[in-house]
Amino acid sequence: MKIICIGRNYAEHAKEMKSELPTEPVFFMKPDTAVLKESDFYFPDFTKELHHEIELVLKICKAGKHIEEQFAHKYYDEIGLGIDFTARDIQAICKQKGLPWEKAKSFDNSAPLGAFIKKEQLKLDDINFELKINNQPKQIGNSKDLIFSFDKVISYVSKFVTLKVGDLIYTGTPEGVGPVSIGDNLEGFINNVSMLKLTVK
């Protein structure tokens, strides 16, 4: 199982990162050791600036390669909520030196994952999602603001990487990313329903 993450998929987030808007999807991967389910998160000792990125997550239900956009909806059946934890200080150094981002993005437990909903229960182009920290809203997004739709992302990624059953696609974060600290309680919501909870320890 692998995790594919889409970068810069919301214009306002690209803006806050001072990144250009992509003309095609930007993706990177996290290994299966990044998944963290129903467990607290331990602040890693190699970063001083750990950022939250709340993201809608697609669960792949069918293997495929070179998937056409018009058929992409058949390849995922559930949508959940995850956090793409990012060591922003390390990422900044990697970007500056033109190096890969793995140290900043793909470390153990960097992909907390909450509950999933069958996609039939959602209006796919109008999914509200939110991250609260200590009960304060930090990030609010909606799938209608995606630069590249779920189907476009699946089609694009599958040109390069075969998708397998159980793979996860983190579809990008809206604006409002920021640091977390030890003791913070994070809670994620889809359409105001709590889907993910963790404490930073």
Chain residue at closest Cβ approach to Mg ion = 84
Q: Please say which residue, 32 or 68, places its beta carbon nearer to Mg ion.
A: 32
Nearest distance, CB of residue 68 and Mg ion, angstroms = 26
Nearest distance, CB of residue 52 and Mg ion, angstroms = 10
- Phi/psi at 20 (nearest 5 deg)? -70, 155
**Left if phi > 0, otherwise alpha if psi is -120 to 50, otherwise beta: which for 50?**
beta
Nearest distance, CB of residue 66 and Mg ion, angstroms = 25
Kindly list the residues in this chain that would bind Mg ion in the complex (CB under 5 A). Answer: 53, 84, 173
Q: Please say which residue, 64 or 76, places its beta carbon nearer to Mg ion.
A: 76
Nearest distance, CB of residue 70 and Mg ion, angstroms = 27
The CA distances from residue 135 to 118, 180, 189, in Å, are: 27, 13, 12
Q: Please say which residue, 47 or 64, places its beta carbon nearer to Mg ion.
A: 47
Output DSSP code: residue 45: T
Report the run of H or E that residue 187 belongs to, with start and end. strand 185-190
